[in-house]
Amino acid sequence: MNNKDFHGFLEGRKQSVASEIEALSAEGRTDEANILKAKFNVYDIAKSVFDTTVRQSPDTVATAFPALFSRITGSWSAALKTAKEHGDDRRVLVEEAKLSAVAEITNRFAALLT
Amino acid sequence: MTDLQAINLFKCLADKSRIQILKSLMEEDMYVERLAERLNLTPATISFHLKKLVDAGAVTSRKEQYYTVYAINGDVFNVSILDILREKSEEKTLQDEREEAYRKKVLDAFFEYGKLKSIPAQRKKELIVLKEIAKSFEPGRDYTEREVNIIIADFHDDFCTIRRDMISEHILVRDKGMYRKV
């Protein structure tokens, strides 16, 4: 896998979500913009995790990155479930935004491996 | 309308999605899915905005068969802004509002879904938390130590510290091994 491709994807999505945030803010949809910031941060987290994996275990990135990334994001599904159970609408939106980024990232990583 | 209520209402209205929801509700009462379809937003996003509108008093809700239907609260919008500005702000009310806002901020920071995340280190904040927990005790009823522990354990695992602090803050009183809310 070309590390630069994955980096490029993460950076591209970051920029794209940043533009969405800007557009929502400009439109006066401040709350939705703030919720989307949680999604933006996930790409940053993925970048840091990926860089660390490449540095620490360059030969096993294919397995090490998903393992480390899922260790961080693993609890987010449970957080979404809890938020739904408690009718915490804001938290539901935040967790859903984060999980949509996780799905994009893991799918792209898997696609780049094949 | 108090100053705090007016501020909450104006803050709530300062959002395009919420204004669009209100415009839709001006046409007729609606449920979440219908609003989501009209405004091209997800039902979760609509629910989030509706909760804010309900909390600010701008919208009311009622159950109709399987749906919760939302409607504009005419009483709030029939008040003119000039009437709101003409209302006198009493110092006592302002003080109460400030204290209530602070109390809510502390509770939001330390509680999550009814569980205490951590015991506040600052005494003023801990007192607010302890008083909140004390709401689970019936006034005038005697509790054994075990009963007290069980009630507190619903909020936090360190029930010993909390029980002792409730005694030292005179929220609970201990007499001959029995506890009672002051």
Where are chain A's structural domains?
3-113
Per the structure, the complete domain to which residue B165 belongs is given by: 117-181
CB-CB neighbors (< 8 A) of B44 in chain A: 89, 92-93, 96
- What is the largest distance, in Å, between two alpha-carbon atoms of chain B? 65
Quick check: is B42 in a domain? yes
Query: Would the CB atoms of A29 and B16 count as touching at under 8 Å?
Result: yes
Query: Would the CB atoms of B14 and A28 count as touching at under 8 Å?
Result: yes
CB-CB neighbors (< 8 A) of A90 in chain B: 48
**Residue B92 has what pLDDT?**
73
Residue pair B9/B57 in contact (Cβ under 8 Å)? The answer is: yes
**Residue B20 has what pLDDT?**
96
**CA atoms of B99 and B95, how far apart (whole Å):** 6
A93: nearest CB among B15, B44, B52: B44
Quick check: is B165 in a domain? yes
Which CATH number belongs to the domain containing residue B8 in this structure? 1.10.10.10
Quick check: is B44 in a domain? yes
Quick check: is B63 in a domain? yes
Q: Which two tokens stand for residue A93?
A: 């939106």
Closest CA to B110 of B127, B96, B95: B127
Q: Which two tokens stand for residue A114?
A: 């094949």
Q: Name the DSSP letter for residue B15.
A: -
**Mutate which of A35, A75, A89 to test chain B, going by most B C-beta atoms within 10 A?**
A89
**Residue B121 has what pLDDT?**
93
Phi, psi of B173 (to 5 degrees): -120, 140
Quick check: is B38 in a domain? yes
If you measure CA to CA, which chain B residue comes closest to A96? B44
**Residue A68 has what pLDDT?**
92
Exposure letters B104-115 (e unless 16+ CB within 10 A, then b): eebeeebbeeee
**Residue A57 has what pLDDT?**
85
Quick check: is B110 in a domain? no
Task: Using the 3D structure, point to which of B12, B45, B77 is the last residue of a domain.
Answer: B77
Q: Where are the alpha helices (H) located in B111-181, listed in sequence order?
A: 123-134, 145-153, 159-168
Quick check: is B106 in a domain? no
Task: Give how far the C-alpha of residue B92 lies from the chain's centroid of Cα atoms, to the nearest Å.
Answer: 21
Residue pair A17/A37 in contact (Cβ under 8 Å)? The answer is: no
Considering its fold, how many domains does chain B have in total?
Answer: 2
**What DSSP string describes B25-38?**
HHHS-EEHHHHHHH
CA atoms within 13 A on the CB side of B177: 2
> Taking the complete model, does pTM exceed 0.80, yes or no?
no
Task: Using the 3D structure, point to which of B77, B94, B128 is the last residue of a domain.
Answer: B77
Using one digit for the tens of pLDDT, what is the confidence trace for B30-52? 999 999 999 999 999 999 999 99
**Residue A65 has what pLDDT?**
93
Element of type H or E holding B31 = strand B30-31
**Mutate which of A24, A32, A100 to test chain B, going by most B C-beta atoms within 10 A?**
A32
**Mutate which of B45, B47, B117 to test chain A, going by most A C-beta atoms within 10 A?**
B45
- Residue ranges of chain B whose pLDDT lies below 50: none
ipTM: 0.79
Per-residue pLDDT of chain A (114 residues; tens, 9 = 90+): 778 889 999 999 999 999 999 999 999 999 999 999 999 999 999 999 999 999 998 888 899 999 999 999 989 999 999 999 998 999 999 999 999 999 999 999 999 887
Query: Would the CB atoms of B113 and A92 count as touching at under 8 Å?
Result: no
Same domain, B9 and B68: yes
What single letter denotes the amino acid at residue A99? Answer: L
The nearest CA of chain B is from the CA of A99 a distance in Å of 15
Same domain, B15 and B63: yes
